[in-house]
Amino acid sequence: MYAQPLVSIITINYNESGVTLELLKSLRALTYPSVEVIVVDNASPNDNPDRIKEAFPEVRLIKSPENLGFAGGNNLGIDAAKGEFLFFINNDTEVPPGILEPLVETLQKHPEIGIISPKIKFHWDPSLIQYAGYTPMNPWTIRNNSIGYRQPDGPDYDTAGPTESIHGAAMMVPRRIVEEIGKMPEGYFLYYEEHDWAAMIRRAGYEAYYQPASYILHKESISTGKNSPLKTYYLTRNRVLYARRNFSSLHLLFSILYLCLISIPKNTLTFLLQRQWAHLSAYWRGITWNLHHPAAART
């Protein structure tokens, strides 16, 4: 039987306090005995986060004076957290009562693990998987694939083990790893920062790990929209930024060639034919951002 040290649960609210309240309701049923819950409101312009504190007075509510993005908001939570383990979870999720025990026990038993994610299933159909580990990041397309995506849950996805990356909707990190490696990289603002953080942790000699004995139910992209120009912009911008920060010179050359010869022409033509002008503008702003920010790969 392992000890059960304090776990700091950190989530970000942005214009979705009603959704956050649903998460907090599920967290109240946790069987793990030692937790603190921190909600960071990322300067929501159209929401009243005070209702979170009113409904759940045990929660620590931090109001950021500005929208710091996914990493910046979570890093505010890290600064306030007291736990030995930090559990980052999207506000558009709900959890079963026993989610924390397998994650904590795995990290205690295996100090070589630096970051861990549970199985993630869709809230709208819990029989379907969203995440059961990740494939390696493709050096051409700068994309990885979520193992088991939209597949029926079953024994094929019930084996714990190392994985190429974790999922930002639910990830646990020991405090000692944060103190050694550093907090989440803030240059992305939205998307790819969890993959960069996992890459940082792996380069330091630790494993990223998948633990299917725990799971969450994910409502997916409520704050940003499932197919919004905002999402197009940051996915485009940050896919290139990730390659600049993490790929070798040879792999970066591969990805630039693919981008210029295949990806940019294909996406531009698609948006033009579909008359998706907002997405076309967002896509090109994401590409050109990298040209105007050469130093971003080093910060």
DSSP string, 25-88: HHHTT---S-EEEEEEE---TT--THHHHHH-TTSEEEE-SS--HHHHHHHHHHHH---SEEEE
DSSP string, 186-202: -SSSSSSHHHHHHHHHH
Query: Is pLDDT at 223 greater than 60 in this prediction?
Result: no
Nearest CA-CA partner of 20 in 34, 38, 45: 38
The percent of residues in the chain predicted with pLDDT above 90, rounded, is: 94
Structure tokens at 110: 């295996």
At position 118, the amino acid (one-letter code) is: P
Q: How far is CA 110 from CA 105, 116, 174, 246, 260, in A?
A: 8, 11, 11, 26, 43
* Rounded CA separation 142/137 (Å): 6
pTM > 0.85 = yes
Contacts of 294 (CB under 8 A, 6+ apart): none
* Rounded CA separation 215/272 (Å): 40
The percent of residues in the chain predicted with pLDDT above 70, rounded, is: 97
Geometric angle at alpha carbon 222, from 171 and 138, rounded to 5°: 55
Confidence of residue 222 (pLDDT cuts 50, 70, 90): very low
Structure tokens at 148: 């088991």
Residues of 204-220 as b/e, b for ≥16 C-beta within 10 angstroms? eebbbbbbbebbbbbbb
For position 220, what pLDDT does the model report?
Answer: 74
Query: Is pLDDT at 226 greater than 70 in this prediction?
Result: no
Confidence of residue 73 (pLDDT cuts 50, 70, 90): very high
Tokens 């910060």: give the residue. Answer: 299
In eight-state DSSP terms, residue 180 is: H
pLDDT in tens, 233-285: 999 999 999 999 999 999 999 999 999 999 999 999 999 999 999 999 999 99
For position 295, what pLDDT does the model report?
Answer: 84
What are the helix (H) ranges across 128-218? 175-181, 193-203
pLDDT in tens, 151-172: 999 999 999 999 999 999 999 9
What is the enclosing helix (H) or strand (E) of 240? helix 229-246
Confidence of residue 221 (pLDDT cuts 50, 70, 90): low
Nearest CA-CA partner of 157 in 125, 123, 130: 130
* Rounded CA separation 12/169 (Å): 11
